[in-house]
């Protein structure tokens, strides 16, 4: 009977080891020091707002503050203290969530203005038992706009006996008018090493054996959240309980989380670097058959790329706590072989692939396509090398008679490159698609581009510098009044950004090194660049349609219409051919 009662009263680790004092809060030293000092010198705000990710300890901190403000010590005569006794009637009642003067409200379920008005009605009454009446509102960002407005006046001038404590994960959804009336405390994500120490101490108290690698995996999966990590540890204990020895091993945690063996993820990554598509697909299939989630595999590959990038920038990061031995050994070796540009390209493909795997009808199929895409990248030289080859060997590079394309390691420069050794994929790019492979910063920008001598040149400079929104506004929402080097005057349309002139002036100064004055005018000015181009396009289209050959073509093909017209400048020889072969007109017609 006693055994049955004991089992029924089991509490999960997240509740059993919930902090009850400031000293028990994990990884929040800065916030704890600030709160402790404020309580000790009696400089307490009337409203607190606690901000942090889920499971970081916001509600627990709010309850600790409530206990600290209302604690009366064991003799009943104490004052507010940063170290609540935990045994007085107020401390006990608050810990058990039954104190009449500490009101908790979940804004996720009570979002309306009527709920806030009900709360405000009780503010004017003094506390029945405690020193302060404390209102704890969790997920405060979920309140409606009208509810926030109803709270503002009371929040600005509350009675001396009232304290508000708000908790939220979404600061941006809380009105600035509310934030400005609160003292803000940010709870940081807990570092992996700190989480490992905390989980290790709890495992010892629970008489559970956990390997270091298992602790590291749980701490990483917790993503800075103490509660999430404790829930995973609880699950790992239950999972290992079916084993004879009851130990929590790395294999059991991998199985529980649906993760892949970390060493095999490195094997998969090296297959991708070498361009071995078949081996990579086989490795993924083996991981999938052993229970690994395809999305988790892509996530693990992303984690490896991020880790290698960190090692590339700072080799000393390998000695940070929480890193496994395989991350140190194989990670350092790979980081020495790869450069930042290569890692960045792999990251982009994996990041896009991560979303594809998440939304695809078949995750394993989508993951295979992502890996194939990465192995094909191994046949491409880096963009800088490709541009260099095209500059030195010309656009005909790769048109030789080489029967097999040269394979190169992903991101590494091809060795022994000859005039006919450019891989198949770059050959296609060399004929016209090179921009798809080149980085934006590799585009050629001449000295004249940085010294625009016309308004059109200014717009072209913004397009070249990838300031698309500003360039679009200058093209379609601006009527030029006057232009001279260093001074632009225009009339801005109603849809143009309000700070367009300031942004244009600031960026032109940054790019050209000269001071630019950009002023606004009410004068009508010239037509917009877009309208000029559209007018020219219409005239060109009308001219093309009126051409006898075009008219004949339209009559010969009923239902055909002219969609687009573009100009082509032909060399003299081709121009002569066009005259002798009327079928090849300089106007392009699409049926």
Residue 414: pLDDT band with limits 50, 70, 90: very low
Residue 550: pLDDT band with limits 50, 70, 90: confident
**Least confident window among 62-66, 280-284, 510-514:** 510-514
DSSP 432: I
Flag whether pLDDT at 314 surpasses 80: yes
Distance CA 70, CA 91 (A): 8
Flag whether pLDDT at 405 surpasses 60: no
Please report the pLDDT score of residue 165 as a whole number: 93
Run of H or E including 141: none
- Section 40-56 average pLDDT: 89
Q: Both tokens of residue 206?
A: 């629970």
Residue 47 phi, psi (nearest 5): -145, 130
Residue 367: pLDDT band with limits 50, 70, 90: very high
* Closest to 549 in 3D by CA, of 578, 526, 570, 577: 578
What contacts 134, CB < 8 A, 6 or more positions away?
Answer: 65, 66, 69, 70, 101, 102, 103, 162, 163, 164, 165
Bridge partners of residue 582, in order along the sequence: none
Please give the domain boundaries of the chain with CATH numbers for all domains: 13-186 (3.40.50.300), 192-257 (1.10.8.60), 262-377 (1.20.272.10), 447-526 (3.30.300), 531-580 (no CATH)
Bridge partners of residue 138, in order along the sequence: 106
* Closest to 274 in 3D by CA, of 416, 407, 404, 385: 407
Place of tokens 């990590």: 229
- Number of helices (H) and strands (E) in the chain: give both, helices first: 26, 8
DSSP string covering 261-304, please? Answer: PHHHHHHHHHHHHHT-HHHHHHHHHHHHHTT--HHHHHHHHHHH
What contacts 554, CB < 8 A, 6 or more positions away?
Answer: 545, 560, 561, 562
Residue 484: pLDDT band with limits 50, 70, 90: confident
Please report the pLDDT score of residue 434 as a whole number: 27
Look over the chain and give the mean of its residue pLDDT values, rounded to a whole number. 78
Other beta carbons within 10 Å of 191: 16
Please report the pLDDT score of residue 281 as a whole number: 93
Question: Rounded to whole angstroms, what are the CA distances from 243 to 163, 235, 238, 256?
Answer: 50, 14, 10, 13
Q: Give the side-chain half-sphere CA count within 13 A for 16.
A: 14
**Least confident window among 6-15, 21-30, 497-506:** 6-15
What is the pairing mode between strands 478-484 and 487-492? Answer: antiparallel
Place of tokens 């701490």: 219
Distance CA 528, CA 521 (A): 15
The helix/strand/coil state of 421 is coil
Please report the pLDDT score of residue 431 as a whole number: 30
Flag whether pLDDT at 420 surpasses 50: no
Residue 578: pLDDT band with limits 50, 70, 90: very low
Angle at 145 between CA 50 and CA 187, to 5 degrees: 10
Place of tokens 């051409």: 547
The helix/strand/coil state of 523 is coil
Please report the pLDDT score of residue 85 as a whole number: 86
Flag whether pLDDT at 301 surpasses 90: yes
What contacts 284, CB < 8 A, 6 or more positions away?
Answer: 268, 294, 297, 364, 367, 368, 371
Q: How far apart, in Å, do the first and last CA atoms of the chain sit? A: 87
Residue 50: pLDDT band with limits 50, 70, 90: very high
Place of tokens 């030029």: 480
Please state the length of the chain.
591
Place of tokens 């916001």: 58
Residue 317: pLDDT band with limits 50, 70, 90: confident
Flag whether pLDDT at 8 surpasses 50: yes
> What are all long-range contacts of 392-396, with beta carbons under 8 Å and residues at least 24 apart?
393/419, 395/430, 395/431
For residues 486 and 259, the model is more confident at 486
pLDDT in tens, 105-141: 888 888 888 888 888 888 888 988 888 999 999 999 9
Angle at 111 between CA 107 and CA 115, to 5 degrees: 95
Residue 165 phi, psi (nearest 5): -130, 115
DSSP 40: H
Please report the pLDDT score of residue 5 as a whole number: 44
Please report the pLDDT score of residue 366 as a whole number: 93
Distance CA 268, CA 73 (A): 60
DSSP 587: S
Flag whether pLDDT at 454 surpasses 60: yes
What contacts 84, CB < 8 A, 6 or more positions away?
Answer: 21, 64, 67, 68, 71, 91
Bridge partners of residue 491, in order along the sequence: 479
Flag whether pLDDT at 506 surpasses 80: yes
Flag whether pLDDT at 494 surpasses 90: no
Alpha helices in 102-162 (DSSP H): 113-121, 145-156
Residue 514, burial from CB neighbour count under 10 angstroms (0-12, 13-18, 19+): exposed
Residue 9, burial from CB neighbour count under 10 angstroms (0-12, 13-18, 19+): exposed
- Section 143-153 average pLDDT: 88
Residue 251: pLDDT band with limits 50, 70, 90: confident
DSSP 190: P
């Amino acid at each position: 009977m006693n055994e049955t009662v004991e089992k029924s009263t089991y509490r999960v680790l997240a509740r059993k080891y919930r902090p009850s004092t400031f000293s028990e809060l994990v990884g929040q030293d800065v916030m704890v020091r600030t709160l402790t000092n404020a309580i000790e010198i009696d400089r307490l705000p009337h409203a607190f707002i606690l901000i942090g990710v889920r499971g970081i300890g916001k509600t627990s901190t709010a309850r600790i503050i409530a206990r600290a403000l209302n604690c009366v010590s064991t003799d009943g005569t104490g004052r507010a203290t940063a170290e609540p006794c935990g045994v007085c009637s107020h401390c006990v009642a608050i810990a058990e969530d039954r104190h009449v003067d500490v009101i908790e409200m979940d804004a996720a379920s009570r979002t309306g203005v009527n709920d806030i008005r009900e709360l405000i009605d009780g503010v004017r009454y003094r506390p029945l038992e405690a020193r302060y009446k404390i209102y704890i509102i969790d997920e405060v960002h979920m309140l409606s706009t009208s509810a926030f407005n109803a709270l503002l006046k009371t929040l600005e001038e509350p009675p001396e006996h009232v304290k508000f404590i708000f908790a939220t994960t979404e600061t941006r959804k809380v009105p600035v008018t509310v934030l400005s009336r609160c003292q803000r405390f940010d709870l940081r994500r807990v570092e992996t090493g700190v989480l490992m120490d905390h989980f290790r101490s709890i495992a010892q108290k629970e008489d559970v054996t956990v390997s270091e690698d298992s602790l590291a995996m749980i701490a990483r999966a917790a993503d800075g959240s103490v509660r999430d990590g404790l829930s995973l540890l609880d699950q790992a204990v239950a999972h290992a309980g079916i084993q004879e020895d009851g130990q929590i091993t790395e294999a059991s945690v991998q199985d529980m989380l649906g993760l892949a063996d970390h060493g095999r993820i490195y094997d998969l990554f090296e297959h991708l670097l070498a361009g071995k598509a078949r081996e990579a697909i086989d490795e993924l299939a083996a991981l999938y058959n052993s229970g690994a989630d395809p999305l988790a595999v892509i996530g693990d590959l992303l984690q490896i790329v991020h880790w290698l990038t960190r090692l590339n920038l700072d080799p000393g990061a390998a000695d940070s706590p929480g890193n496994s031995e395989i991350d140190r050994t194989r990670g350092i070796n790979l980081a020495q072989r790869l450069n930042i540009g290569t890692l960045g390209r792999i990251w982009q493909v994996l990041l896009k692939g991560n979303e594809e795997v998440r939304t695809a009808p078949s995750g394993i199929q989508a993951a295979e396509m992502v890996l194939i895409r990465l192995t094909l990248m191994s046949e491409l030289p880096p963009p800088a090398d490709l541009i260099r080859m095209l500059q030195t060997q010309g656009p005909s590079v790769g048109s030789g008679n080489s029967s097999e394309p040269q394979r190169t390691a992903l991101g590494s420069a091809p060795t022994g490159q000859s005039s006919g050794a450019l891989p198949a994929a770059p050959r296609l790019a060399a004929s016209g698609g090179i921009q798809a492979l080149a980085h934006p910063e590799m585009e050629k920008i001449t000295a004249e581009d940085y010294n625009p001598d016309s308004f059109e040149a200014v717009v072209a400079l913004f397009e070249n510098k990838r300031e698309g929104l500003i360039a679009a506004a200058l093209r379609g929402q601006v009527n030029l009044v006057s232009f001279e080097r260093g001074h632009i005057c225009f009339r801005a349309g109603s849809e143009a950004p309000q700070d367009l002139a300031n942004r244009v002036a600031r960026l032109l100064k940054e790019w050209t090194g000269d001071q630019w004055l950009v002023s606004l005018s009410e004068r009508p000015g010239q037509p917009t660049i877009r309208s000029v181009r559209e007018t020219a396009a219409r005239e060109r289209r009308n001219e093309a349609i009126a051409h006898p050959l075009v008219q004949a073509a339209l009559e010969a093909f009923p239902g055909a219409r002219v969609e687009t017209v573009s100009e082509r400048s032909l060399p003299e020889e081709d121009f002569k051919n066009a005259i002798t072969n009327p079928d090849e007109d300089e106007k392009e017609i699409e049926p």
